[in-house]
């Protein structure tokens, strides 16, 4: 019985490490998209937006190793990832609403109905 439990714990640990490695790759890509080079943001490359990019990259897209292993660090890590997920969700909802508004304006009007010389579609 103990072997089965250990096998399950090892499997969960490996799955957690794989998810963590994937998260690290995603966050690194986000930081590189914002302009990070060799683990740091170059000074003066981006003008007045440099401080915002640095803060966004370091705080919101920080590597897991930058957070401490105590409850404050874990809370900050989970909070930053939850903020990212919330931002993506809000963007998706806005895009769906925009698509619906465009569809409602472009389709369903008089032009889509029967013309006076045609039989009604109802």
Phi (first) and psi of residue 28, to 5 degrees: -65, -40
Sequence-distant (6+) residues with CB within 8 A of 54 are 41
User: How many residues are recorded in the chain?
Assistant: 122
Sequence-distant (6+) residues with CB within 8 A of 80 are 59, 60, 61, 62
pTM, to two decimals: 0.59
Buried b (16+ CB within 10 A) or exposed e, 55-84: eebbebbeeeeebeeeeeeeeebeebbeee
Query: Do the beta carbons of residue 32 and residue 41 sit within 8 Å?
Result: no
For the chain, domain boundaries = 1-66, 67-107
pLDDT in tens, the chain (122 residues): 567 788 888 889 899 889 888 988 888 888 888 777 776 666 665 566 666 777 777 777 777 777 888 988 888 888 888 988 898 899 999 999 999 888 877 776 666 677 778 777 66
């Amino acid at each position: 019985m103990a072997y089965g439990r250990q096998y399950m714990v090892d499997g969960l640990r490996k799955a957690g490490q794989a998810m963590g490695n994937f998260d690290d790759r995603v966050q690194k890509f986000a930081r590189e998209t914002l302009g990070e080079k060799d683990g740091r943001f170059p000074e003066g490359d981006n003008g007045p937006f440099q401080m915002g990019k640095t803060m966004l990259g370091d705080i919101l897209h920080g590597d897991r190793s930058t957070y401490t292993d105590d409850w404050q660090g874990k809370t900050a890590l989970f909070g930053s990832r939850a903020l990212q997920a919330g931002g993506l969700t809000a963007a998706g909802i806005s895009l769906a609403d925009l698509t619906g508004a465009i569809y409602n304006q472009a389709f369903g009007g008089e032009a889509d109905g029967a013309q006076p010389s045609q039989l009604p579609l109802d």
